[in-house]
Each structure stands twice: as C-alpha cells, then as structure tokens.
Structure 1
Amino acid sequence: MASDPITVHLIGDSTAAEKAASERPETGWGTPFAERVDDSVTVENHARNGRSTRTFLEEGRWHPVVTALEAGDYVFVQFGHNDEVPSKEQYTPEAEFEANLERFVAETRERGAEVVLLTPLARRHFGEEGIPEDTHRAYSELTRDVARLHDVPLVDADERSRSLLRELGPEESESLYNHLSPGEHPNYPDGVTDDTHFSEAGARRMADLILDGVEALDLGLATRLDRDSG
C-alpha cells in the first residue's frame, strides 16, 4: 500500500540551502538530501544563506513554514553557524538561541508535525596534531540541551561530520569543501578556499551522514528513504 504523502521542511543556514547558479559548485546538504527520499516525500528547503535562528524569525521566514504543516510532516532545524559569531549582525545570544529552538519545537508539535534538531555541521579546522577542532562547541551543546530537555530527536551532525573529518584527515577532507584553484571554475576566477561550505561531493557525504542519523533514530521517515538515488 502506498504511503500517505508527507512534506519534510528544512530550515537553517547556508550549509543546508539551495544554491544559485552563480554560487555553484558550492552545494548545501539539503539538495542531495531531497534526492534520497521516495516519491511519497516532498522536501521543501527553506534554509537561506546567512540566517540565524533570530533573523530567520525576524524576517518572517518561519511563519509560512509552520502554517503549512500538517500531521505527519517533519521539520528539520539546523542553525548555529551564524548565531554563534558575536561579530556577525546575525548573532544570537545563547539564551535567545535556546528559546528560538524551543519555539520551533513547540509550534511544530502544535501542528501535529514532527521536529528533528540537528547540530551544525563542522567547519574544516584541524589542530596541530591533525585532529578536527570542535568549531561549534557552545551552540552544538545548546542544541543537544534543548533536544534532551524536550525529548526531541537529535541528529548530531557536528559530531558525525567531525568523525568523518578525523577519518579522512586534513588533505583528503579538503575535497568535501568548496576549494577551487584560480581558473578552475568561472564562478570563482581567483579560486576559493572555503572550509565552511561544501562541494557537490561534500554535500552528498553530509546528506548521507544526516540520513544515517535519521535511520539510527528509527524515525518513521527512515522507511521512506531511497539511499540509492542521487
């Protein structure tokens, strides 16, 4: 019997967002994620470059998501990259960050939908001994705290991606991120060294890590995945 159709809504920042043609080959993990579900699932990617929990709410981006939710839908919430940097205009103090996550959780559940929290994917920063640095320590832990306090399924994307970086090492892991030599791609004529955003191949690996987390949580969504696609 065919599964009832559901929608998975992704909210977050540039690491998950769809990219314009002018930004390619930079790729958010939400793009390959959407290719790895079966035909009963629609993925709506609301993530946008440069957003924090605070600015996502202030700009009115959450309202159309929550009003569209139906029972059985999912909301995947991944923020932190911009929230955690005091020098950025998108900065969100820790207590406000927690409160914003709690709002996403409560309002999703009020609509009969399921919410999943994700810690932010790791930046590619290695210490002197070749060990990936914990670049999101405080805001990843705040996300874990909210998940524990409110019994929310958590995909620890930070830990999973740092484990992958540790496995690959400083040199091999470079291919996961948007690193281009001068003249290699017309969108980046001078080249680029970006250890936050992903290459196409890197976005696929990150999406797989997140889907591994979905399966480990034994969410209902796990029965609707098509891991051979994309």
Structure 2
Amino acid sequence: MKNLFRRILAVYSLLALSAFTPPPGKITVYLIGDSTMSIKQVKAYPETGWGMPFAYFFDETVTVDNRAQNGRSTRTFIEEKRWQPVADKLQEGDYVFIQFGHNDEVPTKKSYTTEPEFKANLIRFITESRAKKATPVLITPVARRKFDAAGKIEETHTVYSELVRTVAADYKTPLIDLDKQSQQLLQQVGVENSKLLFLQLAPDEHPNYPEGKDDNTHFNELGARRMAEIVLANIKSLKLELADRIVKPEIVK
C-alpha cells in the first residue's frame, strides 16, 4: 500500500512540475536606425519617431532601448561608435531591430553609404547580434509621403529597400517590409488625409514651428503610432517569441 501511495505521489509531482512554466526572463529590444525611428527632443515636438510609441507595447519583461539617431546611416552609426556599445551589451534572448536607408541612399549627404557597404553593414549587425545569441530583425526604410499627379504613392527607396530584402533572404533573417506596408497605408488614406500622419503644420500652428512645416518624411504622434502598429503586427505574424510579451488588453467586466 505504501509503495502504491509513493507511486501516485511521484506521478502527481511530475505532473505538477510539467505544468509549471517559469516566467520569461527579462530582455532588451534595441532599436538602431535613423530619425524616423528615433526619440525626439521636446523642441522638435510634435515630430515623433515610431520607436517612441513602440516602447509602450510590451509588458514589464521587455525594455526597449532606442538608440536610433537623426541623420544616421549604417556607416555613420558604426563610425560614430554607436553600434559597438549595443553589440557589447547584447544578451541571449535580446532583439535588435535594424532600420536604415533614408540617409544611406542619398549621394549628396555626408552619410551616404554605397550599396556594397550598406549590405556589408547590415550583415555585420546580423552576425554580431547572433554571436551574442540575440535576434536581429531587418526593417526596410519607412516610406516618404510622395504621390504622383494621379494620386498614386511613389516608391522612394527602391534600391535600398531591395538590398534589405536581399540580405534578409540570404541570411534567413526576420524581415519587416515597412517600406511596402507604409506605402499601402498612405495609399489607403490618400493624398490629403496622409498629411495628418506627418509633420505638416501651418504657420503659428505650433510654437516650435512658428513658420510652419511641410515635412513628408517625419511623423507626428499619430503617424508614429500607425507605423509602430505596423511593426507590432509583423512581430505577431512572424511569430517571434517577442509577440508573447505584448501587453494584453484588459477585459472590462
């Protein structure tokens, strides 16, 4: 009888242990990129990088560390030693979201990066992240607001977005095609309504911009949130482990 009791107790103990799932460990999601992603100074408001609202989508196990900087390309981000501190701090389970292209692709900018350099830099971000057992995620550069005379959205990152897609495929890296999907959003809302997503201000409408602003690259708070929501949807569709850490909406009873 005692042996039977011991066996039953052992079975229940094993079942209890198998049913127990330890809570997920804390991780950091690093954002590296340019001004469309970066944290803005108060003097720039209502300009908002999409990385700002993105930080509030996750539970307490996730820290979003936004290292994106205005005007940076893959090359200048590395040369200014902005990448190395990230690589040094990476821990197993962390993520690195990589979105460049706006400043890499313009030959007249000091930040210009040739196509081979751009690919090599993306590959470096991937390999050095994986060396620390972190997960790199490539993101194509978010679309600019540019429509033709017929009201059709125009592609402005053709070459460099395709380079990101190629590297993602070659290195089997999760890809968020923000360029294509943000174009789809802008086309859906249309020529006039899409202005509501960007830093479009009339003179004296905001104290930070007394002369007004006509900016079709940088977002206001609404635009930043819509872009962040696209990224969030992709985290879910890609079935990244990070998706399990998204804040669950509270059910009102």
Partner residue of 1:96 out of 117, 121, 144: 117
What amino acid is the match of 2:111? Answer: Q
Hey, what does 1:85 align to over in structure 2?
A: 106
Post-superposition CA distance 1:146-180 (Å, at most 9, x none): 00000000000001100001100101111000001
- What count of residue pairs does the alignment treat as equivalent? 229
SS in 2 for 1:10: strand
Letter of the 2:102 counterpart: H
Aligned counterpart for 1:60 among listed residues 81, 85, 95 = 81
Indicate the residue corresponding to 1:73 in structure 2: 94
1:1-230 map, 5 Å: 1-226=22-247, 228=249
* CA distance in structure 1 between the partners assigned to 2:248 and 2:152 by the alignment: 30
User: 2:79 and 2:248 mapped to 1: Cα distance?
Assistant: 36
When residues 186 and 27 of structure 1 are mapped into structure 2, their CA distance, relative to the original with a 3 A threshold, is same
How far apart, in 2, do the equivalents of 1:228 and 1:170 lie? 33
- 1:2 Cα shift? 2.7
Which amino acid in 2 is paired with 1:179? Q
Which of the pair has more CA radius of gyration?
2
Partners of 1:137 and 1:168 in 2: CA distance: 22
1:228 is displaced (CA, Å) by 4.9
Q: How well do the aligned residues superpose, as a CA RMSD in angstroms?
A: 1.0
The structural deviation recorded for 1:26 is 0.1
Task: Tell me the TM-score normalized by structure 2.
Answer: 0.89
**8 A contact 1:14–1:28 mirrored in 2:** yes
Contact 1:36/1:227, CA 8 A, preserved across alignment: no
The corresponding residue for 2:8 is none
What is the CA-CA distance between 1:131 and the residue it aligns to?
1.0
Deviations 1:119-159 (A, max 9, x none): 01000000122111111000000000000000000000001
Deviation per CA, 1:104-123: give whole Å up to 9, x if none. Answer: 00000000100000001000
| Counterparts of 2:244 and 2:188, CA distance in 1 | 28
Query: In structure 1, the residue corresponding to 2:28 is in which secondary structure?
Result: strand
**How far 1:213 sits from its partner (Å)?**
1.0
Per-residue CA distance 1:53-103 (angstroms, 9 max, x = gap)? 000000000010000000000000000000000010100000000000000
Shift of 1:226: 2.0
- Secondary structure at the counterpart of residue 30 of structure 2: strand
The structure showing larger relative contact order (alpha-carbon pairs under 8 Å, at least 6 residues apart) is: 1
